[in-house]
């Protein structure tokens, strides 16, 4: 039988992360710095609230857009944290993670052939999601020299008459890059001039370090009406498995996204939604505790990487560092594979996040300090053996 | 030194007082010498009073008993509760002694080699102090959590070894 998979699906390359995952899975005693989720379990008060909701028998469907109470909590939270006001009844959609919200937004917006710009290295799902939604994915490279921020001249150069959407993710997975309010003003002006719609994935926004405040493009003049603000509970609240994210956008766009969501998904799971209310209403302390822990580990891992002679920016957000590995004379993939096979430390080759990730690897510090310490010792030994002089 | 750094050092000491000072320095982006002198200062000023191990009594010295004792006392005209509390606290058996609000005045935690010794302490030492009006003794049966440490450890949640 010829299983005739659709061309546009067949043509999507396998994920580099998946390839790597399969190698790691066959090995024992590996310390993994390749994990893109918190090592903390969801804070107990959130789990406990979810158990309570389950005990009360809250096990059914919810309205398509999500529990009204959760949408109110999201509205308040986004107002308090980001200074943005969204109407709970018409401008907020609760999704199965930010992942689904990205897919919904792209599918709701793109006509075949519309171009979508995104900065790279970036989260692995962006380019495939754009392609699957019928769009044309166009990467804008970011560089270590600019601390991987998005340069306005690079954006201007990339815009064409076919460009409809710009996707953003700051703090960035995998580089930990952040943007300042001043940088956003410039980017926003280009978006307004070229009438671009912006999808901004804010999933790491709470994990901003050094007492810095996160700033979002959505608050720039002329932006809210052209922005889909995407956020979720996976990272900041350590709730990856609950699968709750949300989109905030002008009502007509939410309405369009809802059409897809209601037929494809129906609604996000109620258990996760009940837990999310507790998290957003009373989770601030827990987030602060985890952020403090990540910040300390970041200091530790950046110090250790620099000590072994690797160039490494100190990320202002996320839980990733993206050191340069040029001094080893190896390309990202070879570096990662040999580090894994010879020293049992898993890092993710930079190229998994797009070709411009070459020459880098991603190390996650969402792992306990004990493990990070051992991983750094092993990695130092490996780097010491592979020095081009 | 900045208050936030002192707070951070105290936080790390409370999490694990044995953490190598070089690791602390690295975590807080400080010089080793700075961390060492900060800790020396905390100790010298009596802010850090000591470091202790948390022992699981179900695994070691299982005969030892812990009693949590509520003590009602008559405050003295010139010393209030302090003098009498200090007197009680000086007994070697008393591990902790707190003045508390509510239906009684002092809450004391007593460790003794066995049940008989604990009973003897209450009957012969504590109750015989003039200002002590009444005591109520609760013996610890099982410990679930102590100074932030759980006696039964949850295994770490499983995660995929590599994820995007
Ligand atoms: C940038 C980015 N966006 C979205 C996601 C997916 O998040 P969610 O769990 O909300 O689907 C991730 C997860 O790694 C991410 O790094």
Q: How far is the CA of A136 from the centre of ligand 1 (A)?
A: 21
pLDDT along chain A (389 residues), means of 10: 87 85 90 95 97 97 98 98 98 98 98 98 97 97 97 98 98 98 98 98 98 95 98 98 98 98 98 98 97 98 97 97 96 96 96 96 97 98 89
Give the confidence band of B152 by pLDDT, cuts at 50, 70, 90. Answer: confident
Residue A315's SS3 state is coil
Give the confidence band of B153 by pLDDT, cuts at 50, 70, 90. Answer: confident
A20 and A57: one domain?
Answer: no
A2 located within any domain: no
A314 located within any domain: yes
Closest ligand 1 atom to the C-alpha of B164? 14
Instruction: Count Cβ–Cβ pairs < 8 Å, chain A vs chain B.
Output: 58
A201 and A297: one domain?
Answer: no
Per-residue pLDDT of B78-104, as tens digits, reads: 878 999 999 999 999 999 999 999 999
A230 and A210: one domain?
Answer: yes
A1 located within any domain: no
Tell me, what CATH number does A378's domain have? 3.90.1150.10
Tell me, what CATH number does A148's domain have? 3.40.640.10
CA distance A20 to chain B (A): 8
Domain that holds residue A22: 7-42+285-385
A263 and A360: one domain?
Answer: no
A290 located within any domain: yes
**What ipTM was estimated for this complex?**
0.86
A35 located within any domain: yes
Distance CA A153, CA A156 (A): 5
A275 and A135: one domain?
Answer: yes
pTM summary value:
0.93
A272 and A328: one domain?
Answer: no
Under an 8 A CB cutoff, do A35 and B23 touch? no
pLDDT at B136: 97
Which of A282, A279, A277, A321 shows the shortest CA–CA distance to A298? A321
* Domain end residue (candidates: A282, A307, A323): A282
What residues have CB less than 8 Å from A145, skipping those under 6 apart?
none
Query: CA A234, A239, A241, A247 torsion: positive or negative?
Result: negative
Compute the 3-state secondary structure of chain B and give helix, strand, coil in percent, each to the nearest 5: 30, 20, 45
Q: How far is the CA of B163 from the centre of ligand 1 (A)?
A: 10
A308 and A331: one domain?
Answer: yes
Residue A200 phi/psi, 5° resolution? -115, 120
A234 interfaces chain B, CB cutoff of 8 Å: no
Contact yes or no for A16/A124 (Cβ under 8 A): yes
A186 and A136: one domain?
Answer: yes
* Domain end residue (candidates: A255, A282, A309): A282
Residue B157 phi/psi, 5° resolution? -60, 145
A245 lines ligand 1 (CB under 6 A): yes
Q: How far is the CA of B142 from the centre of ligand 1 (A)?
A: 42
Contact yes or no for A33/A363 (Cβ under 8 A): yes
A338 located within any domain: yes
Q: Is pLDDT of B157 > 80?
A: no
pLDDT at A221: 96
Under an 8 A CB cutoff, do A297 and B159 touch? no
A232 lines ligand 1 (CB under 6 A): yes
Distance CA A183, CA A213 (A): 14
Minimal-distance CA residue of chain A relative to B160: A35
A120 and A219: one domain?
Answer: yes
* Domain end residue (candidates: A266, A282, A298): A282
Distance CA A19, CA A21 (A): 5
Please tell me the total count of domains within chain A: 2
User: In three state form, how does the secondary structure of A161-220 look?
Assistant: CCEEEEEECCCCCCCCCCCCHHHHHHHHHHHHHCCCEEEEECCCCCCECCCCCCCCHHHC
A118 and A238: one domain?
Answer: yes
A162 and A267: one domain?
Answer: yes
A249 located within any domain: yes
Q: Is pLDDT of B149 > 90?
A: no
Residue A348's SS3 state is strand
A203 and A298: one domain?
Answer: no
């Amino acid at each position: 039988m010829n299983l005739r998979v659709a061309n546009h699906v067949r043509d999507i390359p396998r994920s580099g992360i998946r390839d790597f995952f399969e190698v790691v899975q066959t090995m024992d005693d590996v310390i993994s710095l390749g994990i893109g989720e918190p090592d903390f379990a969801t804070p107990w008060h959130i789990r406990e609230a979810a158990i309570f909701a389950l005990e009360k028998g809250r096990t059914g469907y919810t309205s398509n857009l999500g529990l009204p109470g959760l949408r109110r909590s999201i509205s308040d939270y986004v107002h308090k944290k980001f200074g943005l006001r969204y109407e709970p009844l018409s401008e907020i959609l609760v999704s199965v993670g930010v992942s689904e919200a990205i897919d919904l937004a792209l599918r709701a917006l793109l006509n075949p052939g519309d171009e979508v710009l995104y900065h790279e290295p970036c989260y692995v799902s962006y380019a495939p999601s754009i392609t699957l939604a019928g769009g044309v994915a166009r990467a804008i490279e970011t560089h270590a020299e600019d601390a991987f921020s998005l340069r306005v001249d690079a954006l201007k150069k990339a815009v064409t008459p076919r460009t409809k959407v710009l996707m953003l993710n700051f703090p960035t997975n995998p580089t930990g890059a952040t943007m300042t309010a001043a940088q956003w003003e410039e980017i926003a002006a280009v978006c307004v001039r070229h009438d671009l719609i912006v999808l901004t994935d804010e999933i790491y926004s709470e994990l901003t370090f050094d007492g810095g405040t996160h700033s979002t493009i959505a608050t720039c003049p002329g932006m809210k009406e052209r922005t889909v603000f995407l956020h979720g509970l996976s990272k900041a609240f350590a709730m990856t498995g609950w699968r709750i994210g949300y989109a905030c956008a002008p009502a007509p766009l939410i309405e369009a996204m809802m059409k897809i969501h209601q037929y494809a998904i129906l609604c996000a799971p109620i258990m996760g939604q009940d837990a999310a209310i507790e998290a957003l209403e009373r989770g601030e302390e827990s987030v602060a505790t985890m952020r403090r822990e990540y910040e300390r580990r970041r200091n530790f891992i950046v110090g250790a990487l620099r000590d072994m002679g690797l160039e490494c920016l100190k990320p202002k957000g996320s839980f990733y560092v993206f050191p340069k590995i040029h001094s080893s004379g190896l390309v990202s993939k070879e570096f990662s594979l040999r580090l894994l096979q010879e020293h049992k430390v898993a890092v993710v080759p930079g190229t998994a996040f797009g070709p411009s990730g070459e020459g880098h690897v991603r190390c996650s510090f969402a792992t306990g300090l004990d493990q990070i310490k051992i991983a750094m010792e092993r990695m130092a030994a490996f780097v010491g053996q592979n020095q081009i002089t | 030194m900045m208050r936030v750094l002192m707070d951070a050092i105290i936080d790390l000491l409370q999490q694990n007082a044995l953490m190598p000072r070089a690791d602390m320095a690295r975590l807080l982006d400080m010089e080793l010498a700075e961390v060492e002198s900060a800790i020396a200062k905390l100790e010298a000023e009596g802010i850090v009073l000591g470091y202790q191990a948390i022992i699981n009594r179900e695994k070691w010295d299982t005969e030892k008993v812990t009693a949590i004792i509520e003590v009602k006392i008559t405050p003295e005209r010139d010393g209030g509760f302090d003098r009498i509390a200090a007197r009680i606290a000086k007994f070697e058996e008393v591990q902790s002694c707190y003045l508390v609000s509510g239906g009684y005045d002092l809450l004391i935690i007593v460790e003794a080699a066995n049940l008989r010794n604990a009973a003897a302490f209450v009957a012969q030492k504590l109750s015989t102090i003039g200002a002590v009006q009444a005591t109520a003794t609760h013996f610890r049966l099982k410990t679930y959590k102590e100074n932030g440490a759980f006696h039964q450890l949850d295994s770490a949640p499983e995660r995929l070894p590599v994820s995007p």
